[in-house]
Structure 1
Amino acid sequence: MELRIFTEPQQGASYDQLLAVARCAEDAGYGAFFRSDHYLKMGSVSGDPGPTDAWITLAGLARDTSRIRLGTLMTAATFRLPGPLAIAVAQVDAMSGGRVELGIGTGWYAEEHTAYGIPFPPLAERFDRLEEQLAVITGLWTTPAGQTFDHAGRYYPVTASPALPKPVQRPRPPILLGGMGPKRTPRLAARYADEFNLPFVSVEDTVAQFGRVRAACAAIGRDAKELTWSNALVVCCGRTEEEIARRAAAIGREPAELRANGLAGTPAEIVERIGRYAEAGSQRIYLQILDLADLDHLELVAAEVLPQV
């Protein structure tokens, strides 16, 4: 089981805070530093100093870290055109020496779109646009050097693109898809994903949705073993009940609720809970860290959970 760090900067974080977390994660031995791609806070937090752009952040981290992998859970397909996104991700991949992964989804948070003037079409159209974005992005990245790429799309037609720049990772950076959609999500994952991720769902829901994606892979003749299977879960670890309660209070949650819906408790409890997700087929866990100032939390999990999983 690989453990990765996952942050939510729209809740309030500067670049320097994110850099501190990424460097701590790198030094502690986590597999990757990921961040959300949102432009508006959620809940009652202030969100100060305001949102940061995911790919600008990752470009900075690409130069300010040296080993840890970097990516998004999830970039919203509504935010960026596929051609410029393919260019940006390829450039950050080069800046990092080939450490970038692209998590991408339909986008779901209507309020952040209206807050920043971003069109937010109905869900069916968002899925159509996501599918077309995946075709364009992967097509641009995998077109042989010296050839051009064309795509006769409804939303994103492409004509005679030089399909440059190429990412460092070949044939392309890993693509992550995810979510609980019962039909189109599994089909898209089977066709395009290198990793399938489920955010904040139970072991039982994990088993069910992983099964749907495996069935979609079988339907097109793809070996499901080619995919990496993962979950994202909030973490709240402490050596004592007092420490657990303190960390839960710092993120506005209750220990009992976190134990039921996330990874909360002592290191031993968290190891046991991770084991249940492993039995469900998960190979990676993205640990959602909501208190970015508490670097001791990352170090505790690295010291007492990571070696046991």
Structure 2
Amino acid sequence: MDLRIFTEPQQGASYDTLLSVAKATEELGYDAFFRSDHYLRMGAVDGLPGPTDAWITLAGLARETKRIRLGTLMTAGTFRLPGVLAIQVAQVDQMSGGRVELGLGAGWYEEEHTAYGIPFPKEKFSRLEEQLAIVTGLWSTPVGRTFDFDGVHYQLKDSPALPKPAQRRIPVLIGGHGTQRTPRLAARFADEFNIPFASVDDTERQFGRVREAAEAHGRKPDEIVYSNALVACVGKDDAEVARRAAVIGREVDELKANGLAGSPDEVVDKIGRYREVGSSRIYLQILDLHDLHDLDHLELIASRVQSQLG
């Protein structure tokens, strides 16, 4: 079971904070550092010092880390034109020596679009399908050949399809709870399917839909990695769990029901239930980054949870 660290910087984190978390992620033996792609805080937080851009952040981390994978859950398709995104991600992959992964979604948070003057189209899912086709098509076009695309939303003509990533293929993550279109899109494009903040039962059902869609598309279902994203709130004792829950404005019982909360042994048991339904990777959503006063949370999970998972 791979454990990855997943941060939400729009809630309040500078680049220096994220760098410290990424370095701790690497030093403690986690598999990857991922971040959200949002420009506006959510909930009753001030969001200070303000948003950081996902791909600028990852470009910096690409030069300041050596081992961990780096990526997004999920880059918003509304934020970037697909040709530009393909260039950005390929460049960061080169900068990292081939450690980048791209999670790409349709975009959903209308308020951040309004706040920063970003168009919020109604037909986001059909745009996402074209974006995935363009990004992956540009990367896979042989050097010396050109790439064309004639879609409803995007048209490319005689693109040199450069630069190329360092990796032969950058892993593409697709995720969500949609029961029909999302599994079909994952079957067509995904190297990994991620379901965020879902119960074990809902996870099992959604993984089943993706497996069925993969077979219908002519792919072996096991070609796809299946993963979860879940909020983490782990403590050595009840008091520490309660303190961490309070800092992020959540109730312990609710976190135990909907996330990975409690003692290390409780969390290991819960992760085991996700593994039984096919999950091989967990993105641990770490919400308390403010002032870096709780990096020992990452150390506790590494020493008392990750060590038991093998």
Question: Given the two structures, how large is their TM-score scaled by the length of structure 1?
Answer: 0.98
Question: For the residues of structure 2 that align with 1:298 and 1:244, how far apart are their CA atoms?
Answer: 13
- Partners of 1:240 and 1:33 lie apart in 2 by 26
- The CA distance in 1 between the partners of 2:118 and 2:184, in whole Å, is 27
Cα distance in 2 between the residues matched to 1:244 and 1:181 = 32
CA distance in 1, matches of 2:250, 2:180: 33
Equivalences for residues 13-28 of structure 1 within 5 A: 13-28=13-28
1:146 aligns with 2:144: yes
Which of 155, 160, 182 is equivalent to 1:185?
182
Q: In the alignment, which residue of structure 1 is the partner of 2:203?
A: 206
Within 5 Å, give how 1:1-150 maps onto structure 2.
1-122=1-122, 125-150=123-148
Query: Aligned to 1:165, which of 160, 163, 166?
Result: 163
Query: Which residue in 2 is equivalent to 1:251?
Result: 248
Please tell me the residue identity of whatever aligns with 1:242: A
Deviation (angstroms), 1:121: 1.4
Amino acid at match of 1:161: S
Give aligned-pair identity as a percent: 72
Deviations 1:214-273 (A, max 9, x none): 111111110011000000000011111111111111111111111011000000000000
Letter of the structure 1 residue corresponding to residue 19 of structure 2? L
User: Does 2:215 correspond to 1:218?
Assistant: yes
Amino acid at match of 1:289: I
Q: Deviations over 1:161-213 (max 9, x none)?
A: 0000000000x210000001111100000000000000001001101111111
What's the offset of the Cα at 1:289?
A: 0.3
Find the aligned partners of 2:112 and 2:42 in 1 and give their Cα distance. 9
Letter in 2 for 1:283: S
For structure 2, list consecutive stretches of 5 or more residues without a partner in the other structure.
none
> How large is the Cα RMSD of the aligned pairs?
0.6
The 1-side partners of 2:186 and 2:109 are apart by 21
- Please state whether the residue corresponding to 1:247 is helix, strand or coil: helix
Partner of 1:287: 284
- Report the secondary structure of 1:165's partner residue: coil
The runs of at least 4 consecutive aligned structure 1 residues that moved more than 6 Å come to none
The one-letter code sitting in structure 1 at the alignment partner of 2:299 is: E
**Match of 1:30, as an amino acid?**
Y
Match of 2:191 in 1: 194
Question: What is the DSSP-based 3-state SS (H/G/I as helix, E as strand, rest coil) of the residue aligned with 1:272?
Answer: helix
Question: What is the identity, as a one-letter code, of the residue corresponding to 1:262?
Answer: G
Answering whether residue 265 of structure 2 is matched by residue 265 of structure 1, we say: no
Separation in 2, partners of 1:270, 1:151:
46
Structure 1 match to 2:153: 155
Q: By how many angstroms is 1:153 displaced?
A: 1.3
d(CA) in 2 for partners of 1:253, 1:68:
29
In the TM superposition, residue 14 of structure 1 has moved relative to its aligned partner by: 0.1
Give the whole-Å Cα distance in 1 for the aligned partners of 2:252 and 2:152. Answer: 48
Mapped to 1, the partners of 2:217 and 2:35 lie a distance apart of 32
Residue type at the aligned position of 1:101: E
Q: What SS does the aligned partner of 2:226 have?
A: strand
Using the alignment, how far apart are the partners of 1:221 and 1:135 within structure 2?
Answer: 17
Task: Provide the C-alpha distance between the structure 1 equivalents of 2:75 and 2:239, rounded to a whole number of angstroms.
Answer: 36
In structure 1, how many angstroms separate the alpha carbons of the residues matched to 2:155 and 2:121? 18
Output the CA distance in 2 between the equivalents of 1:276 and 1:46. 36
Alignment of 1:298 onto 2:298: yes
Mapped partners of 1:106, 1:10: distance in 2:
18
Which range moved further: 251-260 or 34-43? Answer: 251-260
Alignment gaps of 5+ in structure 1: none
